[in-house]
Structure 1
Amino acid sequence: MSNDIAYPVFRTPDLGLALSTVRRLTEFGRREYSEVSVSAELCSVAEVRRVAEDLPGGWFRGQAEYGEFDGVPFQEQPVLVFGAQAPGLPAEPSAYEGRLPVECSLLDQPVGSIEDAFSATIGPNIGAVRWTSLCWPDVPAAEFVGESEHTAVTLLLNSRTRHLDQSAEDHTVLGHIRSAVFNGRQTQEPYAHWLAAQVGLTIIGPGQRL
């Protein structure tokens, strides 16, 4: 089974500049069926409530201990464990005890529909905006084969890794291509360099895999 690898091509503390840069790369491979998804980790009740007000269509889910609800039907689990849209979130602060951080997501939306609102409300929280169903072109002159399966652009907000496991004071743009390893080398990396160069960018770090 194949998967992707994502190369960092731009980094800045300026969120507006990060968005404009990522859009240049996204537009290079955008198709009519392309989509965008957003996600964030919210570490306080106040932040959950603030983001829920700004993103009423978001889906919010809290943490649960492994096996905590084994055998318990979904409808009998706490709302935050099962997950709920903003209007269905519990009002009682006690409902959030042991459930933080709360993950917020809004998936598979039309490109251009949610990026600005999500970026405006992210604040200091770690999050990501991911554009998918793109199509990178063939480049016969360089013997590069195009790609439509493992194609995406990700904007990491307040983080530098796809795992979103470390906070940062800047934002990073990642360009995704198919991962193809031969003799320990990523054979598709030259194509990643070519893609970045088409919009005036360059690879600034090692590829990231999940």
Structure 2
Amino acid sequence: MANSYAQAVLTTPDLDEALRVAERLLDLADTRHLEVDFAARVSTTHELERLTAVMPDADWWSHEPGRDGSSRKGDSPSEWLPIFMSRWCMAPETVTAFLAAAGSAPAMVRWDFDGWPEAPEVGLGIGGTRGAYVTVCVNARDLDLEEPAPDHTVYVHVKQVEAQRAPWLAAQVGLQVIGELQMAPL
């Protein structure tokens, strides 16, 4: 499993605001090859039904310690709730449907693209695909969706050796970074 490094740039109770900030960050990026990854922590059969409808081929695994149900084993997800579901390489047009299906469940949308722009003010050239993501965590305060929250957090991902790109990106959209740069499993 690869990792990127992420830093929060906004926490807000307004999902539309979080999505607007994500869009503004994506406007800075090289998005010629843009796709999105989804993840959700699923606790109820109703959430499972809604999310399965928009992510029919999602991978899933048990979310509780000591339980080992998973899609890889061919298990039925409804028998293993709560579970963690994920689906990679989705079309950007599917974000709205995914968020509607997630409802109040902790969920994550991560936009994956070709790279960040040059940041000459901090001595950085164009960034490549590694570490080039924008994530919105919905109803959660952390990238692992472990801390449910009534609000939503926007993260920029950068290479660890280019950590100064995160505050630069935040400034480009009129924000500041929040907290420390943190490892973000992909």
Whether TM exceeds 0.5 here: the answer is yes
Considering fraction of residues, name the structure with more strand: 2
Identity %: 29
Does residue 79 in structure 1 map to residue 111 in structure 2?
no
Provide the rounded CA distance (Å) in 2 between the counterparts of 1:110 and 1:17: 21
- Tell which structure's C-alpha radius of gyration is larger: 1
Aligned partners of 2:68, 2:58: CA distance in 1, in Å? 21
Distance of 1:32 and 1:66 partners within structure 2: 42
Out of 81, 101, 122, the position equivalent to 1:100 is: 81
- The Cα offsets for residues 106-147 of structure 1, whole Å up to 9 and x where unpaired, read as 321232x11111112221211100011231122335422321
The aligned residue for residue 95 of structure 2 is 115
Counterparts of residues 120-199 of structure 1 (less than 5 Å): 120-148=100-128, 149-180=130-161, 188-199=162-173
User: Do the aligned residues in 2 keep the contact of 1:58 with 1:105 (CA within 8 Å)?
Assistant: no
Structure 2 Cα separation of the partners of residues 141 and 8 of structure 1: 21
Gaps of 5+ in 2: none
Q: In the alignment, is the contact (CA less than 8 A) between 2:35 and 2:89 conserved in 1?
A: yes
Contact 1:127 1:158 in 2 (8 A): yes
Aligned equivalents of 2:60 and 2:3: distance in 1?
Answer: 27
Match of 1:28 in 2: 28
- How far apart in 2 are the matches of 1:170 and 1:56? 23
Question: How has the CA–CA distance of structure 1 residues 142 and 209 changed in structure 2, closer, same or farther, with 3 Å as cutoff?
Answer: closer
| Cα deviations by residue, 1:65-121 (Å, 9 ceiling, x for unpaired) | 76969xxxx6xx44336xxxxxxxxxxxxx51xx1113333321232x111111122
Judging changes above 3 Å, is the alpha-carbon distance between structure 1 residues 141 and 43 closer, same or farther for their aligned structure 2 residues?
Answer: closer
- Superposition RMSD on alpha carbons, in Å? 2.5
Amino acid corresponding to residue 99 of structure 2 in structure 1: S
Question: 1:63 Cα shift?
Answer: 2.0
- The number of residues matched between the two structures is 179
Change (3 A) 1:137 1:48: same
Letter in structure 2 aligned against 1:14? D
Q: Distance in 1 between matches of 2:89 and 2:122?
A: 33
| TM-score of the two chains, using structure 2 as the length reference | 0.83
Gaps of 5+ in 1: 82-94, 181-187
* Inter-partner Cα distance in structure 1 for 2:3 and 2:44: 34
- In structure 2, distance between residues paired with 1:6 and 1:142: 18
Asked if 2 retains the 8 angstrom alpha-carbon contact of 1:60 and 1:80, the reply is no
Separation in structure 2 between the aligned mates of residue 68 and residue 204 of structure 1, nearest angstrom: 35
Task: Name the CA distance, whole Å, in 1 between partners of 2:88 and 2:51.
Answer: 16
Aligned to 1:88: none
The answer on whether the counterparts of 1:60 and 1:102 sit within 8 Å (CA) in structure 2 is no
Under a length normalisation based on structure 1, what TM-score does the superposition of the two structures give? 0.75
- Cα offset for 1:60? 5.3
